[in-house]
Structure 1
Amino acid sequence: MSPVSRARKIAAQPTAPSLNGVFKDVLRDFSALGADPGAFDVELLASEVLGQWWDLPLEEDQEPLGFELIAFAQRKITPGAAALLAALRGVAETPEERDAAAEALAVVLGRGIPEPEWAAAVGEVKVGECWRTGDVYGDEASLLCVFSRGELEHGLLALLDFADGGRVRDLVVIDEPREVLAEMREQATTEPELVLLSQVEPAEAHRLLADGLAATDVLEEPDVSEDYARFHAIALTWCRSLPDPAPAPETPEWAEETREAVVEEFVAQSGIEDTGAARALARLLVDHGCAAEPSAPLRVGPEKLARFLELVLDGEFELDPDHQDALAPVLLAWTTWAAARAGLGEQAVVTLVDAVTEYLDEYATDDSALDAYLDGSEELEDPAELAEALDRRMFAVPSLSTVIGDEEVDLEPTDPEQRRLLVIGEHPEYHESLASDTFDGAPRVRLELKTALVDQLWENEPPEAWAAASRLRENGLEREEILDQLVDVLAGQLQETGPDRLDYDVDGYRKALDQVN
């Protein structure tokens, strides 16, 4: 979405080191508004000013910059200060800032500066029609709200991402909302099986906007367009003219038995082979739907399913080889089953399946963790041997990234030195000592032995190490417990073979591993 407005953008200003310089520039901008600007131009300028530090992190107990700007303007006896404070009285984002601006404006006016003629019109708009257009799946929608002053209309257009909790990803203020509405109608007419258009009650539009903005504003890295910050304050201002938000629909949490019942229904109706992997993946899809979209856990769309695959690629879900093999057929079966369950049309289903197939192709060819774990295993042609190699290496090195110091790094486990860093990364309590070369004694020996054990498991040499680890895992021990026990076995075979040099009896070590249960 590209904004269309009559007011110019303000170049981004630094918030440091000179706030006074920034605030002086703001006053100059308001002084340059002219004798009779439109209320919209004033609102947009104020919104652009506030947007410059919309996502600026504040130190503990630091006052928001809006209050500092208000206090700065209150100390000035100029028409620009009165114009700024009159604008912030209507457009500032919080009630506290609007009250502070009103009080500061009264101080400035008390010094003989006249109140701007447009001041009473700021923030006062009449609500018109609200429309929503989006994909038939429900992944995202554009919400258009029309506002007017006299004969002049403006529109607020918000992009809602329902695959990410309904949050707002983009905001645009437009000059010709009727032209945009005509485009929305044309798109829905041209692609009726893929695009839906409906009129929305203003109270419901208020709920969608308020909830979407709130969901975005709490994110540390919100991933929004530049226009989002620019129009954020004006969006909140106009929203206050809408009726109170409609109540959100109830979204009761799905109980365990409900989730399992859906899995049963899927296996029975989809035609997928009833295997443990199929059921486990179906349950992951149910749980993902409940977490990502509690109001519609079984809704399917290209974005929602793409994000599920992203979580798989990012290691959010730990999949063994059986699950990896079953992922594509299960996801495609889930797609068609859930689409039919939702009553999607034929074209919509075909388009969705094509999109998911493309995602799966990308997933299969992605330079992912599987490539790293199976590197050097090309000579293994037996699927069972490949599966065993993958299981063993993923046990030895469960993650391909780690935090060293304050930095997160991605590493290559086939490189012994980088594999060692992955082991060190599991022990942040030693990082400071390692960095200062003060790490010595029993803890250092223990860490070196764990690194050696991980190398053995990775290379499967000696094979008795993995055999022992497998037995312990079958007995219910966790990974760290298993590694600790095997490190004890390795430590028991250590021998001094020279000054500051330790080695171990390989034959004795193998025999000791055989005794591990």
Structure 2
Amino acid sequence: MSGMSPVSRARKKSSPPASPSVNGLFKDVLRDFSAVAAEPGPFDVELLASEVIGQWAEADPEDQLGLELIAFAQRKITPGAAALLAALEVLAETDEERTAAADALAVVLGRGIPEPEWASEIGRVTVGECWRTGDVYGDESSLLCVFSRGEATLGLLALLDFTEGGRVRDLVVIEQPHEVLAEMRGQIEEDGELIVLDKIDPADAHRLLTMGITATDAMTEPDVGEDYARFHAVALAWCRSLPEPSAASVVPEWSPAQRTEAVDRFLAEANLGDAESGREIARRLVAHGCRTEPADPLRVGPEKLARFLESLLDGETELEDEDAVAPVVLAWAAWGARRAGLSEVAASALVEDVTEYLAEYLSDEEEDEDLSAYLDGTEAGDDVLAVVERRRFAVPETDTVIGDEELTDLDPGDPEQRRLLVIGMHPEYHESLAADEFDGTDGLRLALETSVVDQLWDNEPAEVWQAAERLTEQGLTRESVLERLVSVLESQLTETEEDDRLDYDLDGYCEALRQV
């Protein structure tokens, strides 16, 4: 879910100044402030000042562009300079710059320039409602805070990323916050099982905003939206009008014993075929959760697990068993969904998303395979991994060659396309099939194998897969297992009186499979 979807309602961005020099930039800034000083509007002044501050956010701190701009404005002694300095006295982001702006404003006013009539209103807003919407997993939230001054109302929308400790990834000022809230409510009506919407206390909003912005600003090269720097200063200023932030819960770091206990519990409950092979990956999952989300290390979400997989791709991680990544992460997703009490819709969506992310960890032959085709019609829960394993045994490939024709990206869930995949496994029959000279015995054998593959896909009767698992554990190859299963089915065939058709007794067939 894209939490910042209403950015189309964001305040329009001013055109960047054309002047290439620093002095030229400063002149353009004063010209813009002269315009807003002539038509007073505190919101417009705050947003313009925030945009100006955002322009030097990426500059070298040693250049001290903010202090240079303040000194430049002090020398000009104009209404535009007074407007700029009155705004920076409140919105500048360092104590040094705010003090310098106050001193410079005093100089300008002392030389006869009147103080802007809106100066006392800068940074002072009335707090309205605060709403938060996000995915049910807890990966992301969009926090909307409404602020007003007189009849004018604006909204501050912040995208919170809880896969990185709740940091703020983007900030947008919204001109019509009531329309954005209506959109949020509309999303709930459409995707109520995947999205949540809550009205939150302004003190909690203050905590989320300030902690999130602080976390982002502490990063060396944060990945943020294009508006983050532009609205950073005004966001901090408006936050000061919110009630004191609520106290953040003190979260003690998990001990090694707690981490081991979580891994053991997962392995005991996840029904992995080989629990010990997944221990290393499970330990890394717990460690990732403790590092990125100490308040809830075991929480699962599509983005959180995607970030975990990205961490394995950084080239610095060596795994003892890379083949364990896909089954263990899928099991972790399903286990975490059950632990969180997610709905079937949300749990299924989680498993499907994670399945796509796991494409990086398939073998070379399976690298481009989309495992979601093997999940069609399934329900989230304990059997998700078992379903994938069983169906991939039944239909290990989705590409095949029949004669001279290459067939790619077939849908294994379609019975007709599944039959083509079975035929593709037997090139010895292709020539006679093409010539319509297929021998009756061979045709029966191929038909029986197709039936067995269909039974494995649907798990009906369940005894077919149970027999296949036992035979595989005995060391037989897939081809040998299928031969044995086909032989069992063939041994149960009897002719019917109707059209000399072949049929079998289901109970007898299941009993024969149990004897395999």
TM superposition shift of 1:24? 1.5
- Judge conservation of contact 1:13–1:52 (CA < 8 Å) in 2: no
* 2:286 corresponds to: 286
Structure 2 SS opposite 1:156: strand
Q: Could you tell me how far apart the structure 1 residues matched to 2:281 and 2:109 are? A: 67
- Judge conservation of contact 2:193–2:345 (CA < 8 Å) in 1: yes
Structure 2 SS opposite 1:129: strand
- Judge conservation of contact 1:193–1:348 (CA < 8 Å) in 2: yes
1:233 aligns to 2:236 (yes or no): no
Q: RMSD of the TM alignment (CA)? A: 2.1
- Judge conservation of contact 1:30–1:80 (CA < 8 Å) in 2: yes
Q: Could you tell me how far apart the structure 2 residues matched to 1:192 and 1:103 are? A: 54
* 2:327 corresponds to: 329
Q: Could you tell me how far apart the structure 1 residues matched to 2:88 and 2:313 are? A: 46
Question: Residue deviations 1:479-517, cap 9 Å, x none?
Answer: xxxxxxxxxxxxxxxxxxxxxxxxxxxxxxxxxxxxxxx
- Judge conservation of contact 1:36–1:118 (CA < 8 Å) in 2: no
Question: Residue deviations 1:222-242, cap 9 Å, x none?
Answer: 121221111111111101111
* 2:249 corresponds to: 249
* 1:100 corresponds to: 100
TM superposition shift of 1:6? 5.8
- Judge conservation of contact 1:313–1:363 (CA < 8 Å) in 2: no
Give the alignment's TM-score, normalised by structure 2: 0.67
TM superposition shift of 1:139? 0.4
* 2:14 corresponds to: 9
Question: Residue deviations 1:188-207, cap 9 Å, x none?
Answer: 12211100000111111111
* 1:154 corresponds to: 154
* 1:39 corresponds to: 42
Structure 2 SS opposite 1:198: strand
Q: Could you tell me how far apart the structure 1 residues matched to 2:270 and 2:178 are? A: 45
TM superposition shift of 1:318? 1.2
Structure 2 SS opposite 1:332: helix
Q: Could you tell me how far apart the structure 1 residues matched to 2:135 and 2:18 are? A: 38
Give the alignment's TM-score, normalised by structure 1: 0.67
Structure 1 SS opposite 2:144: strand
- Judge conservation of contact 2:17–2:25 (CA < 8 Å) in 1: no
Counterpart residue type for residue 27 of structure 1 = L
Q: Could you tell me how far apart the structure 2 residues matched to 1:366 and 1:9 are? A: 50
Q: 1:298 to 1:107 in 2, by over 3 A?
A: same
Q: Could you tell me how far apart the structure 1 residues matched to 2:224 and 2:259 are? A: 33
* 1:26 corresponds to: 29
Counterpart residue type for residue 187 of structure 2 = Q
Q: Could you tell me how far apart the structure 2 residues matched to 1:50 and 1:365 are? A: 50
* 2:61 corresponds to: 58
Counterpart residue type for residue 44 of structure 2 = D
TM superposition shift of 1:7? 5.8
* 1:344 corresponds to: 342
Q: Could you tell me how far apart the structure 2 residues matched to 1:238 and 1:300 are? A: 33
Q: Could you tell me how far apart the structure 2 residues matched to 1:286 and 1:5 are? A: 39
Q: Could you tell me how far apart the structure 2 residues matched to 1:325 and 1:150 are? A: 62
Identity between Structure 1 and Structure 2 (%) = 65
- Judge conservation of contact 1:309–1:363 (CA < 8 Å) in 2: no
TM superposition shift of 1:288? 0.8
Q: 1:227 to 1:13 in 2, by over 3 A?
A: farther
TM superposition shift of 1:257? 0.5
Q: Could you tell me how far apart the structure 2 residues matched to 1:361 and 1:10 are? A: 43
Q: Could you tell me how far apart the structure 2 residues matched to 1:106 and 1:366 are? A: 70
* 1:355 corresponds to: 353
Q: 1:12 to 1:303 in 2, by over 3 A?
A: farther
Counterpart residue type for residue 254 of structure 1 = W
Q: Could you tell me how far apart the structure 2 residues matched to 1:340 and 1:79 are? A: 63
Q: 1:236 to 1:286 in 2, by over 3 A?
A: same
* 1:81 corresponds to: 81
Counterpart residue type for residue 65 of structure 1 = L
The 4+ residue runs of structure 1 with deviation greater than 6 A are 365-369
- Judge conservation of contact 1:130–1:199 (CA < 8 Å) in 2: yes
Counterpart residue type for residue 332 of structure 1 = L
Q: Could you tell me how far apart the structure 2 residues matched to 1:366 and 1:27 are? A: 61
Higher CA-based Rg: 2
Q: Could you tell me how far apart the structure 2 residues matched to 1:340 and 1:22 are? A: 57
- Judge conservation of contact 2:334–2:351 (CA < 8 Å) in 1: yes
Pairing 1:295-306 to 2, within 5 Å after superposition:
295-306=295-306
Structure 1 SS opposite 2:169: strand
TM superposition shift of 1:19? 2.1
- Judge conservation of contact 2:37–2:116 (CA < 8 Å) in 1: no
Q: Could you tell me how far apart the structure 2 residues matched to 1:24 and 1:208 are? A: 37
Give structure 2 stretches of 5+ with no counterpart.
Answer: 368-516
* 2:91 corresponds to: 91
Counterpart residue type for residue 11 of structure 1 = P
Q: Could you tell me how far apart the structure 2 residues matched to 1:3 and 1:9 are? A: 15
How many residues end up aligned between the 2 structures? 362
* 2:389 corresponds to: none
Pairing 1:357-376 to 2, within 5 Å after superposition:
357-364=355-362
Q: Could you tell me how far apart the structure 2 residues matched to 1:368 and 1:123 are? A: 57
TM superposition shift of 1:359? 0.8
- Judge conservation of contact 1:171–1:228 (CA < 8 Å) in 2: yes
Pairing 1:488-499 to 2, within 5 Å after superposition:
none
- Judge conservation of contact 1:10–1:49 (CA < 8 Å) in 2: no
Q: Could you tell me how far apart the structure 2 residues matched to 1:143 and 1:359 are? A: 27
Q: Could you tell me how far apart the structure 1 residues matched to 2:9 and 2:191 are? A: 26
Counterpart residue type for residue 350 of structure 1 = S
Q: Could you tell me how far apart the structure 1 residues matched to 2:365 and 2:155 are? A: 44
Q: 1:302 to 1:19 in 2, by over 3 A?
A: same
- Judge conservation of contact 2:323–2:362 (CA < 8 Å) in 1: no
Structure 1 SS opposite 2:227: helix
